[in-house]
Structure 1
Amino acid sequence: MLKQIPLLNRIKPHSSAITFVFAAVLMLIICHFVYWQEVDSIQREIDTVARAKADILREHIDNLKRETLFLSKLPDVKGIASLAHQPVLDTEQQAQFNTHIAHLKDVFKYYIQSIPELEQARFIDSKTGFETIRVERMKGSVIALPDSSLQQKSDRDYFIEAQKLQEGDVYVSPFNLNQENGSLVFPYLPVMRVSTLVFSQAKPQKESIGQIVINVSAEVLFSQLDITRTYSNINIYLVNDAGDYLLHPDKTKTFGFDIGQRYTLEDDFTDVGDGMYLTKDDSDFFSWLKVLFFSDENVYLDSTNTQRKVVVLAVANNHLAITKTLTVIFWYWVIIGILILLLKNTKNEVALKAKQQHLNTVLTMEQELNSILSHAPNGIMVVNRQGIITLANTQVERIFGYAQGELLGQSMNVLLPARFCHVHPNFMQAFFSAPETKLMGGGRELYGLHKTAKEVPLEIGLSVIEYKGELQAICGIVDITLRRQLEHLFEMVVDTLPNAVLLVDYNGVIELVNKQTERLFGYSRDDLLGNNIAMLVPESFREQHLAWRQSFFIAAGEEIDTERYYISGLCEDGTIFPLSIGLCTIETHKGKKLLSSIVDLTDSELEASALKKVTENLDRTSKMAGIGGWELDLITNELFYSEETYRIHGL
């Protein structure tokens, strides 16, 4: 018999290539993290800007409404309303009426001079729609127009809408270009009108005598929204309820709806998903480098009609995120280069230091563990029936960013996002009505509000405690931010695996799939998630598969099953194919799950069949030719001889 031939030593992979690949992958992960961290920062920044500018606009509008109501309650306005109610005025009454008119003109002049955004102030007769008083800003001066210049306004929208008001109500018109004598004023003057009715004091029924109308310059009002000196990467837009531009970096696109040429937000930007937008002009290959981020805030002109509004938009590009990412890439490779040089000269020293560092880490971990054991691991907070915080531990300070002294005595609402504040008192009342130990949420996502206005995902357990002489709720709070990140990372890792992977519960409901599963079975991810795994099993095998799966759940935990099973799978198009499946159970925060790794054996079976056929042909040929042969198992280093070899040697 021939001696066994020893295997040649395997060639080791080139360590430098492996290191480079690892460094490149790590760089991509870091760049992804840095880019999206910067994007989150940009989004938070534009959210803050949009809210701040919307608050400024709301405040100005509210102030103008108050000023209009104040003007309507002036003694001279009341005097005009009282005398206008009289069918005929005697000489003395006419003199009083004229005096009130003169005084009111002076008041209007003073208001326009004092408030920069005011362009006009008018008193319009409700019955005739004709202007009784009109004071306006003209070429830097404030003048009262003579009676010959007064106009009829009964056909204007703002006059008609104001006539529908009740006493004490104020109407705010949409922003548009000012018209005089039925035509647009040139140069164009964008304005908003604020109106309220003046009622007679006659009994028994009051009636509308006139309207106080002030015209507000949109340009002066919008100047309060300018941020060019503070933010170079953010632009502010303002659109009406139809999406037409009222404020735009390019002024030629504003108020186009009044001159027959509309410019809307939808005409300029395309939503590409995940809160990102592209301009309609960006259609080249590198357009993804020019994405924009939007934040919008509604400013309602009418508290009873949410359709009447303007929208403040803060828009930022991703240049800062790209710049920061490129900077990280540059310094990353600089540092990698430095580390490579250091490692070549100090390999042994680093190894010793690593051992020492490991020992120090172990000691530090022991110290930290002792410290953790001496304190509660989770946030603990006590709240009374009124929702007032009476106790908070250091973990609560860490979770929410407030010092203990800042929280004590405060309402629980300071730790809640705004969308939960209006329903939380009802939950508190229901809990104290039937107190029990339970986990909050009931399947819903729970969030707290950090001091920095960032939302924090939480798990909260509730119970009751007698504290400070009253029954109070004790809350166990766990910050699950890291868990959410790890779940997302796990899904990303699974998605990149070369084999098909499924995660199912005891009932066979599919909870997780990867891209390879979609390719293997022909279903989309949405078609698979939430459905039973039986849809991937041939009809003839489903009953056996159910019993097999459930028995695996029951047996799991006693020992780990490393065997692979060979069964058949069912594609979306009805094709049945052979597969190999490996199973193991994993414990999650949602309970025990079954993880399946699936390999398509279609090609392997074809290759095995072809190999068997070739082997049979070779054996027949060897016998016919009288030639022996041998095979070397490269794994066990053993030689195997053919039957013809044994026959030739007489063995």
Structure 2
Amino acid sequence: MELHKRNFEFVRYFLYICIPLVLLIIALLWFLHHIQTNAALSIMKGSERQSVQLAERTIGTVFDILRGDALYLAEHSLMQQWLDTGDPAAQSHLTADFLAFIRHRQLYDQVRFLDEQGQEVVRVRMKEGQPMIMPMEEMRNLLDRQYVQDALAQNEKTVAISPFDLSIDHGTIEHPIRPTIRFSVPVFDSKNQKRGLIVLDYQGQRLLNRLRVLSDLHAGDLWLLNEKGYWLLGPRPELEWGFMYPDRQASRFDHEFGEEVWLSILNDPQVGQWMHEKGMFTYAKVMMAKSPNSVNSEQWLLVSYISPSIMAASMVDFTNDKIIAFIMLSSLVVLLGGVTASYAARRRETEKRVQASEARFRKLLESAPEAIVILEQSGRITLVNKQAETWFGYRRDELVGQLVEKIIPEGFHKEYSRNQEQYIVELQTCSMKEGSELYGRRKDGSRFPIEISLSPFEMDQNRLFTSIIRDMSARRQVEEERQRMETRYRDLVNNLPIGVFRNRPDTNGRFLEVNQAMLGIFEAESVEQLLAHRFSESYCDLTDRMAFINKVTSQGYAKGEELRLKTLKGREFYAALTVAMRKDEAGEIYFDGIIEDISARKDNERQIQRLNDNLSARSQELETINHELESFSYSVSHDLRAPLRAMDGFSRALLDEYADRLDDKGRDRLRRIRAAAQRMAELIDDLLNLSRVSRTELKWEVVSLTQIANKVLDTLRQEAPERAVQCLVQPDLFAHGDTQLLRIMMDNLLGNAWKFTAHRQEAFIEVGCKVNEERVIYFVRDNGAGFDMTYADKLFGVFQRLHDANEFPGTGIGLATVQRVIHKHGGHIWAESAINQGATFYFTLEERK
């Protein structure tokens, strides 16, 4: 019952406050809405009137410019000169001025001069964005045009303005459409005789575009109509220019908005505004010929139209604002009216939050990864978390109410008490491990290293302390492992056979750290003696020291620098230094490096150099001897050719002239002499080729082995056309080398393949290459007689033959020549074969870029 009464009183007072305030808010908002709506409508009307007036002034400004251009051209000095003299040069200059005028003004489609019979005499036209002078054959007589007749009827310099319509060419409307207004001015000579007229075809689309820009700046749609109600600029493109298209004759203003609206606008004053159920119409009548020197009776109508939907939409914002304001104010009233009821709800909510906060605190305390113990100032435990139970092995009820010394080993009670008293004096969060080690004691008596952080807080006017206890066992193990690693690495450095050091690049250059190998290198008796020694005094040449330090400081390191140093006992030795520059925390530069005594290596290098010098001298001597032998061989071979030719020639003469006087045995012996001489000549030719190969200087170039192989095979086919040999030559086979020598090589290799396949019914020869380990290996393969690989080491020797000379003739020098060519090219040659299974000769050449 008490609860229902309290609720009833709450509702009654709530209604007493809320209802009057809500009604007052409604009245104020309705009055404000009425004022704002009327003001907005007035602003809209004023804006539309300004839009129409601005459009009217824009049309007037454009027409003033166009009239001025027409009068300027009519009074042009070149025009007067041409009309008075008829000089063709003056006409040409006038045409050029018209061309420049239309190019720079960019306002007109055409500029024309018509004589008094309406015939075009000068015509300049814009075509595809560029002005051009129309030829005489395209000139037309326009006397039938109304705007020409109106202009010629004037007896003074007045501008006749044509109606605003679309340009028509040969009786049809041009596409794309070109809205056009023509400004025509009669032209008089110096005797005031009318000689014709100037006609400017103004690009009316420019005027319509300017009106569209003005329309975009205001709420209403800006239209331009002629006096018959046809749209020149309308709401939609399909409604415009209705008087020009037979199918759009009904596209007029009165058909769209009714005759009543049209007549009201047409009969009203020059400028007006009319509200109708179909919208708001703001209009102005524009006379095309306002200036005294202009003639045109047509008038236009500028109409700005705002539809009822747009007007309503502009008022929606005011209505929405009032609705939002009503909702906000009403909400505020409701909020103020419910303060009393909400107070109790807030109090109950506060109690719930306190309970939830306590629950979160307990959950956080229990989920903490470290042991948390809350203490009184006397050191008595008031609360522990689950992790404390786990680490120390006690149940919670066994710890609460006990002194904290229960979980501290007896040997650390005094130290803990001293740290706690100091902390209570300072009263700031800190660690109790500073400068000492603490241990915790488990229930079973075992100990483990800990770190304790204390933090004070007030609760129920009592000062408590939060102790966060961290198990340091894992950290202690890491620390011990780190110390073991440091010891292991220190032993490793000391056991290295090369010197390891650290020093500073100052004037003294004293060592900061050294390993044991450094003592032996510098013949020091102890580490202390070496650390006290000035390293700068160990350089045999101080300039070497400065150059070395400058190199390290400039590029940050030096690798394998060889220097002459001396030990503490004065013995000089060669050392290789590798150093890296470093900076310490203070920004001071120091060097870390290694040093190696390379005196023995230096001695070996000097001995090797002496041996190399001796070897080079012996090689030079051998090369000289080889050149002398080659020259001797060439000379002997060359000198033997003459007597051999004589022997062969005289033997042939004896056979030809005295054969009938010789018996068969004599003729046989002469033939044997000729055969031996010819074989000796062939042998000498091969020796000369071999010598020539050795003496020839290489001319490096890109050589097509494919082309060379095809030429050699063609020659072989011509020499033995009866043989059917299948030849396969890999295309685009290129190499770097001497063309002539490589031709000699291919002659011998392919000649051998051709020779040793002579007894095959289906002979086959292949030339190609393969890539192995980034090397190009060329090969010549055949399926001929082959050879025994047991004798492969004799294959490339001079006069070495592996077949009977009667079966396969030859001198035994060809493959030696091939080997000599390949060796001169820095390559290598070898063969693979089996008896009666063909042979493959592989060779490489030096690869040059």
TM-score surpassing 0.5?
no
Q: TM-score, normalised by structure 1?
A: 0.43
Q: TM-score, normalised by structure 2?
A: 0.33
> As a proportion of its length, which structure holds more helix?
2
